[in-house]
Structure 1
Amino acid sequence: MTRIAVIQMVSSTDVNTNLQEAARLIAEAADQGAELVSLPENFALMGLHDTDKVAIREKFGAGIIQDFLATQARKYGVWLIGGTIPLEASIPNKVRASCLVINNQGQCVARYDKIHLFDVQVSADESYCESRTIEAGQQVCIVDTPFARIGLAICYDVRFPELFRCLVAQGATLISLPSAFTAMTGKAHWETLIRARAIENLSYVLAPNQGGRHANGRETYGDSLIVDPWGHILSRLPHGAGVVYADLDLNYLQTIRRNFPTLDHQKIACQQSSI
């Protein structure tokens, strides 16, 4: 079995401060034996304004945040799922919200750009329009690791089960979902959605979340979760910064898939080109 960890943060408006906090938590995870560690969405910056992330965007393959991930992975000999970082887009005033997977040698082995953008009216006083500053991705992403075949998704993606079914159709046994769920939507839907994606896809789900009040006034829900293929919550952190752990047991996963073969009973095939 492999020990896996998710990190919960309450990221600030200062990149250096956030990277220092992430480094502390990655070190803690590694010290507890974690071999795969996942950071939350926007771990390096929760800006005062949506455009703040555009100001710190990096070219893919070079930049302070990407160098940080590579250094931490090498230093502790862990695989890192790098939450999201703002990478250059094809439009000058936008970014790609990109999740990078870094192996234990510090090499980037996968990149997923968030497909579904959070353009919603949460309440009369709270609304979001990610498409103003984020350019949507178009490609589903799977990565092979020594531990599992991992499917990548980000936050709002969780509301689109067809994406997850495409990941599983390509062999995913573990799905990573770095998030920054709002307090209101998190209270209503977070646990239900995470457990549903695990159950219907008979997969482990890692769901690191932001979890507290940020300088921009936004409150994120927290409750970072690790859920097994039967929907059991293996570990959770309700609020604040920290790390939670679980053991990844692929023999257990294969037993569940063999005894309860819902994936084999699927009648409507995933149309990957439609994502």
Structure 2
Amino acid sequence: MRIALFQAQTGLDPDRNAAALVGRVHEAAAGGAAILFTPEMSGLLDRDRGRAMRHLHLQSDDPVLAAVRGAAREAGIWVHLGSLALLAEDGDKLLNRGFVIDGAGEIRASYDKIHLFDVDLPTGESWRESAAYERGGRSVVVDTPAGALGLSICYDLRFAGLFTALTNEGATILSIPAAFTVPTGEAHWHVLLRARAIEAGAFVVAAAQVGQHEDGRVTYGHSLVVDPWGKVLLDMGAEGPGLGFAELDQAAVEEVRQRLPAIWHRRPIPQPEHVRIIGSEAPRTSEPCPGDTASR
């Protein structure tokens, strides 16, 4: 099964971003792809919330979503629209929501990002996604022409439990659209994507934002496709936006899971017992995690 990835450099104008997406939908279909994957924040990438709010809509009114649905219908191709920033239907915050759209332009599934990126980086960059966005509350697997697709968004990549849940529900492809920063991308992007593929015995498809954006941020690029053995099938680098293609053979999933059947050996993990040795000379080197109630 042939798939396509759009490595984007999304800017401040949703109309221009929508036009780029529509063009890539048709280009992917012409290239023989059954499904196109796009990055996180494909419709608007703007760290200035006040400015961004002027361009945000409810899902029912979003022009970027409507344009991509129309293009999918015209081209007869499925699209995983990695995510859009949308107004929440019942609150003051926003949604970081991805969509799976079929070849008739219908929405087959949507997913709201569960893990929100709140961090202060050594570079001086500070991100507080939870200040603006509402956290998602469900995981999603959807059947597509390429296989059972498990959905995630960007920072979700760091939480292996989500991908365990997705593959426990039958996912053979894991989609991880992203807008990774350069420092974290250089350190962790390839390692984590390959690890998720190896742990799950599944394909990983990660369409990414790339380069210098109009709001001042710089994203890492390197849109990847990784096979179930951890081999990188496609790496689009960091030179700029573009379209890439890869072939997914679902037989490879079964082959890898037979050779290394770790996915079938998963067991529920009991709560760890924290044994504290009174009078030990060895000091505890770190504070307990917030959820470490056994040590309190």
TM-score past 0.5 threshold: yes
Mapped contact 2:41–2:82 kept (Cα < 8 A): yes
Q: Whose Rg is larger?
A: 2
Distance 1:192 1:101 in 2: 26
SS state at 1:264 partner: helix
Mapped contact 2:140–2:151 kept (Cα < 8 A): yes
Question: How far did 1:91 drift?
Answer: 5.8
Distance 2:56 2:16 in 1: 17
Distance 2:177 2:263 in 1: 24
Corresponding position of 1:45: 44
Corresponding position of 2:107: 108
SS state at 2:119 partner: strand
Mapped contact 1:48–1:215 kept (Cα < 8 A): no
- TM-score scaled by length of structure 2: 0.87
Structure 1 residues 1-275: aligned runs within 5 Å: 2-89=1-88, 92-239=91-238, 240-268=240-268
What letter corresponds to residue 180 of structure 1 in structure 2?
A
Identical aligned pairs, as a percentage? 38
Mapped contact 1:98–1:113 kept (Cα < 8 A): yes
Distance 1:53 1:269 in 2: 43
Question: How far did 1:209 drift?
Answer: 0.4
Distance 1:218 1:91 in 2: 30
Distance 2:192 2:57 in 1: 31
SS state at 1:84 partner: strand
Distance 1:135 1:54 in 2: 15
Distance 1:55 1:95 in 2: 13
Deviation larger for 169-178 or 57-66: 57-66
Distance 1:53 1:172 in 2: 34
| 1:212-258 deviation digits (Å, cap 9, x = unpaired) | 00112110000000111001111111121111111111112111112
Question: How far did 1:51 drift?
Answer: 4.0
SS state at 1:190 partner: helix
- TM-score scaled by length of structure 1: 0.93
Distance 2:90 2:118 in 1: 18
Distance 1:220 1:68 in 2: 25
Question: How far did 1:24 drift?
Answer: 2.2
Mapped contact 2:148–2:173 kept (Cα < 8 A): yes
Distance 1:171 1:51 in 2: 41
Structure 2: give runs of 5+ residues left out of the alignment.
271-296
What letter corresponds to residue 158 of structure 1 in structure 2?
L
What letter corresponds to residue 151 of structure 2 in structure 1?
L
| 1:97-155 deviation digits (Å, cap 9, x = unpaired) | 00011000000010100000000112251110001110010100111123201000000
What letter corresponds to residue 163 of structure 2 in structure 1?
F
Deviation larger for 49-58 or 250-259: 49-58
Mapped contact 1:54–1:93 kept (Cα < 8 A): no
Mapped contact 2:34–2:145 kept (Cα < 8 A): no
Structure 1: give runs of 5+ residues left out of the alignment.
271-275
Check 1:118–1:51 CA distance in 2 against 1; reply closer, same or farther (3 A cut).
farther
**Which structure is higher in RCO with an 8 Å CA cutoff and minimum separation 6?**
1
Regions of 4+ moved over 4 Å: none
